[in-house]
């Protein structure tokens, strides 16, 4: 650590920095109260804290300027995209600058023949897919929310399509990253594989803005499938539905999506999304994609497996509108639950286990839910072994404590089954307490060593991703 | 850096260490001349250097013991698996210990339902697949040689099946790694995705033994495809063959393998592997895998594209024996070329470009070959944009210089087309000179920072992967 004994108090440092930032970046710097409020939190509202200022970066150079200035003065910086993260990732540290990248929406190149493109980090995936419309290509990673691609990199996002296309980890070829001191590096490239040097791209994917700030992303694209079919199948029994999903994966069916919603979730979604043709019982949502004969083959295997597990028959959504309605209902699951008890908080949990453990995990979780007396919906990306619960609770300290207690039980179950405490939401501050149990103290020491090496002044989103503790002494 | 002024000379240090190693590890330590010679090089014989001793580790604890002792005495350690690397990765640094992991061949767990397994790092992929025989599962990454899975992790290996199944990067779920000071960490786990913490697994994959020594590997497995078909198609014209492969990929055909061998390579392989039914002209080797209808669909599209590009018709290898013969001929390409001119050296190059650039690259390379006056075969994993040349040269300094000059021209062409200087062989010492041009000085600074942070005494395979230079000053 450099000698910090002559560094002025944090509040004084950030004031000095604001003057410098305005000199260099003019009206891209805002201290407006409502702008600061909008940057005080992501979707975890309870963790809100105001930044000292918000800077709206328009270029990689802007980001470099901000970091150079803040680095000089030991002022923390947190990157902000669409503010859709749920674990407190974008909540500013104390006396920090929030660096908003949402103006960086350029599509810098589309290489249709190579199925890749380069975009600025503030572009959302929805907007990218609109701009790709004429190419026959699309970017498949779909976390549901209207997230930016930079934010999706930073949290290693995935979602409903990961079972087929993989997560951000598998779909990013390279990055432009601004390091803590403002230095700009490029990682990876355009080739499909390479074995030259450390995999810096993967190091920044999932680093939650704590090692560098991502400003450009080289993405893999995929051909829009020749045929897309969606279907739902309902089950009287939760375990039968889980077993069906597991067996579909084990049979090697290259299914595009397979999502589960339990009875509580279905009741909420039927009401919220008008799915009146459905019953409030456990339901699997399927999507099949590919060439026609392959899709037919996938459907046959899947229908047979669902039948063997007491599925109540397939209902098909054959038109694009029907499919859109179904997937919109799935993506609105959170809001459907939220609408059940206005004024309640809804806390989304997120864990993942090897798929063979999923049925026993969910059975255990159901028992925990019953014991808690809370209203809880279960839904998830069952094809990956990843599932969420949505815990409804009164917006009081007691309510939150009760929900957190249930969350802890669920995570403990998942970790005991070789699982992870987050399949896709990330650590932020919400999952810090589980990290040592999941990774072990030694691995965390190595992670802290990387953090200290790349951000020795600890200005990049401090307090996120890594619980406090020792670094590795090589 | 720690103060090293009281550290004795390197030769004295390693002698002291040998006594300690023998105390702890007994006859697992060898200084036998022929054992040391066998560990003096991989397949790049010209870089040979004798280690001071070879230690045959049998457990992770053995590896930890060796590193603990060597770390204390600033003695370098190079991990050795099957010795199949081609860029000098396993050549010992001066006054170093070679740490042989080839006795670590345990299969520690097979989770058939989750399609994963955990193995010790010294197991070869062939042996793993033999042991998996009764499960219906296999590990697909296939670099050709009889490599160990730990070595394949360390070099981020890939090979003929990467176009469908991905490289080691996509097929490793977690690792056990011994750090420079002997500390043991676990990275990753068994889940299919996770967003908790830095991706240490990816950091060690491709790190060539310079950040830690991998002792266990958690691998993704895949179901053995219901149907496998192999075919070859010959072309009068190299560009037509390349264009066919590129169009197959661009059409989204989920092809299992697509390999190219040019006229020079085919002449050698026909003679060496008895492929007398074939002509010495450019040839594509295809493999199709999957459920029957999907395979039929893939074949139809591929045959049509080959026909459009003047392919001379498909010849099918329908029996397992016929397929094995074909793929054995492909894997023996190096030896086929080697047999052409006994006593000559054969130098294998390795570069990769975005697939849209492959045809123009190969045309340019053909011109370079012509201008060089050398005998050179072209072959490669064209579905990835990855290709090799095999340069035949007299085993003299002049011969090597001429071959290296041609290699430099090929790499320069690839880098100018957004390529990488190695798709799969790795950096070792052979590719060091190209790294700055490929990644830029700033990225190399960041890589060096990681190296210094995790191996401050520079004992882990020093001199490999990273050209000398500055580290990043955060």
* Three-class secondary structure assignment of A177-242: EECCCCCEEEEECCCCCCCCCCCHHHHHCCCCCCCCEEEEEEEECEECCCEEEEEEEECCCHHHHH
Of residues B187, B199, B456, nearest to A169 (C-beta): B199
Q: Do B191 and A420 touch (CB under 8 A)?
A: yes
| CATH architecture, domain A341-459 | 2-Layer Sandwich (3.30)
The predicted structure's pLDDT at residue A273:
94
Closest partner CB to A474 (pick from B169, B223, B454): B454
Alpha helices in B73-212 (DSSP H): 125-131, 149-154, 162-165, 168-171, 200-204
CATH numeric code, A10-100: 3.30.43.10
Residue A473: its pLDDT value, please?
81
What is the pLDDT, as a whole number, of residue A6?
A: 64
Domain boundaries defined on chain B: 10-100, 107-223, 225-334, 341-439
CB contacts of B445 in chain A (<8 Å) are 183, 185
Tell which CATH classification among 2.170.120.30, 3.30.420.40, 3.40.640.10, 3.30.70.2190 matches the domain A225-330.
Answer: 3.30.70.2190
d(CA B331, CA B269): 10
Per-residue buried b or exposed e for A321-354, using 16+ beta carbons within 10 Å of the residue's own CB: eebeebbebbbbbbebbbebeeebbbbbbbbbbb
Tell me if A451 sits within 8 A of A466, measured CB to CB.
yes
Task: Give me the residues paired with residue A230 across strands.
Answer: A287, A317
Ranges of chain B with pLDDT below 50: 1-2
**Is the CATH number 1.20.210.10 carried by domain B341-439?**
no
Considering only alpha carbons, which residue of chain B is nearest residue A444?
A: B197
Q: What whole-number percentage of chain B has pLDDT above 70? A: 99
**According to the model, what pLDDT value does residue B1 have?**
46
Chain B contact present for A393, CB below 8 A: no
In this prediction, residue B448 carries a pLDDT of: 98
Q: Tell me the shortest Cα–Cα distance from A104 to chain B, in angstroms.
A: 23
Report pLDDT digits (tens) over B16-31: 999 999 999 999 999 9
Nearest to A447 among B111, B198, B425 (CB): B198
Q: Which helix (H) or strand (E) holds B62?
A: helix B60-72
> Which residue among B193, B203, B297 places its CB closest to the CB of A423?
B193
CA B320, chain centre distance (Å)? 26
Contacts of B406 (CB under 8 A, 6+ apart): B349, B368, B369, B372, B374, B376, B389, B391
Q: Which residue from A180, A223, A472 is facing B252, i.e. has the nearest CB?
A: A223
Chain B contacts in chain A segment 209-228 (CB below 8 A): 211, 222-223
The pLDDT score that the predictor gives to residue A46 is 81
In 3D space, the residue among A286, A321, A326, A320 whose CA is nearest the CA of residue A305 turns out to be A286
B97 touches chain A (CB under 8 A): no
Evaluate whether B280 touches B266 at the Cβ level (below 8 Å). Answer: yes
B172 sits in which H/E element: strand B172-178
d(CA A301, CA B381): 33
Which one of A89, A195, A302 makes the best mutation probe of the B interface by having the most chain B beta carbons within 10 Å? Answer: A195
Option in A113, A156, A294 nearest B195 (CB): A156
Would the CB atoms of B183 and A472 count as touching at under 8 Å? yes
With an 8 Å Cβ cutoff, are B294 and A290 in contact? yes
Strands (E), B243-361: 257-261, 283-290, 314-317, 345-348, 351-352
CATH numeric code, B107-223: 3.30.465.10
List chain A residues with pLDDT less than 50: 1-2
C-alpha gyration radius of chain B: 23
Assess whether the region B225-334 and the region B341-439 belong to the same CATH fold.
Answer: yes
Most A-contacting residue of B87, B140, B159, B191 (CB-CB within 10 A), to test interface? B191
Nearest-Å Rg of the Cα atoms of chain A is 23
CATH class in words for B225-334: alpha beta
Residue of A nearest to B443 (CA): A185
Q: DSSP secondary structure string, A83-107? A: S--SSSTTS--TT-EEEE-TT---E
Helix axis angle for A320-331 and A263-273, nearest 10°, is 120
Mean pLDDT of chain B: 95
Chain B residues touching residue A388 (CB < 8 angstroms): none
Q: Do B385 and A423 touch (CB under 8 A)?
A: no
Give me the pLDDT at residue B6, please: 64
What is the distance between the alpha carbons of residues A138 and A225, in angstroms, rounded to a whole number? 10
A154-213 residues touching B, CB cutoff 8 A: 155-158, 162, 166-167, 169-170, 179-181, 183-187, 189-200, 202-203, 205-207, 211
- Tell me the C-alpha to C-alpha distance, in Å, between residue B236 and each of B262, B288, B381: 10, 23, 19
Instruction: Convert the pLDDT of each residue in B322-375 to its tens digit.
Output: 999 988 899 899 999 999 998 999 999 999 999 999 999 999 999 999 999 999
In the prediction, which pLDDT does B376 show?
97
Select from B179, B293, B423 the Cβ nearest to the Cβ of A195: B423
**How far, in Å, CA of B411 to CA of A339, rounded?**
60
pLDDT at A1: 46
**Residue B469 · residue B441 · CB < 8 Å:** yes
């Amino acid at each position: 650590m450099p000698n910090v004994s002559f560094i002025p108090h944090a509040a004084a440092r950030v004031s000095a920095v604001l003057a410098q930032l305005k000199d260099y970046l003019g009206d891209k710097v805002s201290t407006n109260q409502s702008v600061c409020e909008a940057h005080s939190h992501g979707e975890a509202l309870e963790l809100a804290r105001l930044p000292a200022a918000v800077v709206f970066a328009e270029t990689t150079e802007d980001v470099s300027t901000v970091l150079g200035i803040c680095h000089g003065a030991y002022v923390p910086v947190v990157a902000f995209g669409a503010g859709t993260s749920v674990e407190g990732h974008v909540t500013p540290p104390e006396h920090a600058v929030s660096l908003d990248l949402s103006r960086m929406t350029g599509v810098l190149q589309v290489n249709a023949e190579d199925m890749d493109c380069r975009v600025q980090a503030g572009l959302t995936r929805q907007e990218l897919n609109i701009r790709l419309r004429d190419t026959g290509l699309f970017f498949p990673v779909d976390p549901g929310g209207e997230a930016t691609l930079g934010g999706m990199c930073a949290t290693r996002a995935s979602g409903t399509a990961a079972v087929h296309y993989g997560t951000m980890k598998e779909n990013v070829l390279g990055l432009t990253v601004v390091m803590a001191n403002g230095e700009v590096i490029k990682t990876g490239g355009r080739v499909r594989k390479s074995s030259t040097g450390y995999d810096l791209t993967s190091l920044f994917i999932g680093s939650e803005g704590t090692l560098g700030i991502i400003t450009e992303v080289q993405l893999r694209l995929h051909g829009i499938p020749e045929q897309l079919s969606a279907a739902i199948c309902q089950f009287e029994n939760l375990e039968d539905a889980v077993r069906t999903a597991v067996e579909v994966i084990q049979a090697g069916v290259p299914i595009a999506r397979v999502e589960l919603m339990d009875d509580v979730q279905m009741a909420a979604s039927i009401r919220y999304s008008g799915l009146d043709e459905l019953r409030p019982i456990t339901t699997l949502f399927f999507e099949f994609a590919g060439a026609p004969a392959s899709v037919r083959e996938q459907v046959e295997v899947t229908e047979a497996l669902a039948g063997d597990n007491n599925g109540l028959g397939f209902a098909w959504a054959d038109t694009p509108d029907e499919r859109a309605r179904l997937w919109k209902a799935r993506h609105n699951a959170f809001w459907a639950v939220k609408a059940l008890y206005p004024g309640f908080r809804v806390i989304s949990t997120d864990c993942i286990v090897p798929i063979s453990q999923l049925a026993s995990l969910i059975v255990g979780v159901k028992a925990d839910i019953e014991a808690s007396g809370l209203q809880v919906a279960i839904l998830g990306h069952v094809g990956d072994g990843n599932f969420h619960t949505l815990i409804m609770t009164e917006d009081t300290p007691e309510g939150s404590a009760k929900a957190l207690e249930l969350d802890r039980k669920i995570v403990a179950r998942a970790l005991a089954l070789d699982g992870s405490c987050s399949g896709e939401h990330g650590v932020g501050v919400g999952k810090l307490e589980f990290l040592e149990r999941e990774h072990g103290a030694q691995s965390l020491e190595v992670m802290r060593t990387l953090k200290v090496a790349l951000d020795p002044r600890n200005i990049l989103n401090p307090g996120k991703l890594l619980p406090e503790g020792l670094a590795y002494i090589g």
